[in-house]
């Protein structure tokens, strides 16, 4: 026996980030923070630009579905004929860019922000509450989700918005098979199709969806409707077990889809297609 050192009870220090972990526990939260800043930062910039969202027949998920679209001053803007309510109205504040991202696509932000997976990600990465398992968290007053963060309980309403958005994005994906009324297929069509697929995987693994669709039942075999819901719940469980994977894949692909449309729209790359 050798080497004795006086320490706190149990050897547990109380200062921020104190731990006896010998692995690189900080890599997870650092990578998460970098990923979130990179992807959400990119989407925020693109949302405020409001430009290069359209490369006929492709529409960027940053602007889809468009409620309004600018008439002029925004190169690569979605055509007025494609917007649900046409051009931006006169009452639109001058200090805000005329970006369709401020309407329906914003629903995706609320869905991801209140998502149970992303909550874990940003509570760890940004609030250090805790930064990693067995690592002392930030010395902040902790109320969990009982006070300021109580709104997280309304995640299911963000889900309703996301389901609506998903239907719209699937519609846009199928619409991307038609250019000026002519059927065809291009790389952009596939990019949009993969985007809708990955977003479906993310949405149908949502914990609130899984609860509402069947998890709230205690008897899965009591009647025909509960048996059907059980089957859907089982499918949802498969996606739910991969929720983190779909969360990151779909986030990356939303950014990639937007970037692809941006590049085709600006002429930076040529879209390979059958038209």
Partner 1 sequence: MAQRTFKVWRGDANGGEFKEYTVETQPGMVVLDGLHRIQAEHASDLAVRWNCKAGKCGSCSMEINGKPKLGCMARLNTFEPGETITVQPLKAFPIIRDLVTDVSWNFEQNKRIAPLKTKPRDADGNHRMMQEDVDRVQEFRKCIECFLCQDVCHVLRDHKKHDQFVGPRFMIRLAQLDMHPLDTEDRIPAARKELGTGWCNITRCCTEVCPEHIQITDNAIIPMKERVVDRFYDPIAWFIGKVFGSKKS
Tell me how far, at minimum, the Cβ of 249 lies from partner 1, in Å: 18
Q: Angle at Cα 81 formed by Cα 75 and Cα 87, nearest 5°?
A: 65
Parallel, antiparallel, or unpaired for β 182-183 and 58-59?
A: unpaired
Nearer CB in complex with partner 1: 188/215: 215
The yes or no reply on residue 146 touching partner 1 (CB under 8 A) is yes
Q: Which of residues 154-183 bind partner 1 (CB under 8 A)?
A: 154-156
Nearest Cα to Cα of residue 269 among 39, 80, 58, 71 = 58
Interface size with partner 1, residues (CB under 8 A): 54
Which position among 40, 113, 116, 126 is part of the footprint of partner 1 (CB under 8 A)? Answer: 116
Which position among 124, 173, 176, 254 is part of the footprint of partner 1 (CB under 8 A)? Answer: 124
The yes or no reply on residue 27 touching partner 1 (CB under 8 A) is no
Nearer CB in complex with partner 1: 96/120: 120
Contact (Cβ atoms closer than 8 angstroms) between residue 77 and residue 262: no
Tell me how far, at minimum, the Cβ of 11 lies from partner 1, in Å: 4
Nearer CB in complex with partner 1: 212/269: 212
Bond before 130 cis per omega within 30 degrees:
yes
Which position among 41, 73, 75, 134 is part of the footprint of partner 1 (CB under 8 A)? Answer: 134
The yes or no reply on residue 242 touching partner 1 (CB under 8 A) is no
Which position among 33, 80, 207, 256 is part of the footprint of partner 1 (CB under 8 A)? Answer: 207
Cβ-proximal residues to 237 (8 Å cutoff; 6+ apart), any chain: 210
Contact (Cβ atoms closer than 8 angstroms) between residue 27 and residue 125: no
Distance CA 197, CA 222 (A): 33
Distance CA 82, CA 64 (A): 10
Tell me which stretch binds partner 1 (CB under 8 A): 124-132, 161-169, 176-184, 264-272.
Answer: 124-132
Nearer CB in complex with partner 1: 10/93: 10
Distance CA 222, CA 227 (A): 7
Parallel, antiparallel, or unpaired for β 54-55 and 58-59?
A: antiparallel
The yes or no reply on residue 241 touching partner 1 (CB under 8 A) is yes
Question: 32 vs 37, 40, 117, 125, CA distance in Å?
Answer: 9, 12, 12, 6
Tell me which stretch binds partner 1 (CB under 8 A): 36-44, 122-130, 250-258, 264-272.
Answer: 122-130
Q: Binding residues for partner 1, per CB under 8 A?
A: 1-7, 9-12, 19-23, 116, 119-120, 123-124, 129-130, 133-137, 142, 144-146, 149-150, 153-156, 207-208, 211-212, 215-222, 226, 230, 240-241
């Amino acid at each position: 026996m050798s080497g004795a050192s006086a320490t706190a009870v149990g050897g547990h220090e109380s200062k921020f980030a104190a731990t006896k972990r010998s692995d690189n526990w900080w890599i997870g939260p650092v990578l998460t923070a970098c990923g979130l800043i990179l992807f959400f930062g990119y989407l925020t910039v693109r949302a405020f630009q409001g430009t290069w969202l359209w490369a006929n027949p492709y529409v960027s998920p940053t602007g889809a579905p468009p409620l309004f679209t600018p008439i002029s001053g925004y190169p690569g803007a979605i055509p007025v004929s494609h917007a649900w309510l046409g051009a931006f109205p006169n009452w639109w504040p001058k200090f805000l860019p005329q970006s369709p991202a401020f309407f329906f696509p914003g629903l995706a932000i609320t869905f991801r922000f209140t998502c149970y997976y992303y909550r874990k990600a940003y509570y760890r990465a940004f609030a250090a509450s805790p930064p990693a398992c067995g690592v002392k968290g930030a010395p902040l007053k902790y109320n969990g989700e009982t006070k300021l963060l109580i709104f997280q309980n309304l995640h299911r309403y963000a889900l309703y918005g996301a389901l609506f958005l998903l239907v719209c994005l699937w519609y846009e994906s199928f619409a991307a098979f038609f250019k000026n009324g002519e059927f065809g297929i291009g790389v952009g069509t596939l990019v949009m199709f993969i985007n809708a697929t990955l977003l479906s995987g993310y949405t149908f693994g949502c914990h609130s969806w899984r609860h509402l669709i069947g998890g709230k039942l205690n008897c899965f075999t009591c009647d025909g409707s509960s048996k059907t819901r059980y089957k859907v719940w089982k499918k949802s469980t498969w996606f739910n077990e991969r929720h983190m994977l779909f969360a990151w894949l779909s986030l990356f692909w939303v950014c990639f889809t937007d970037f692809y449309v941006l590049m085709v729209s600006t002429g930076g790359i040529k879209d390979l297609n059958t038209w």
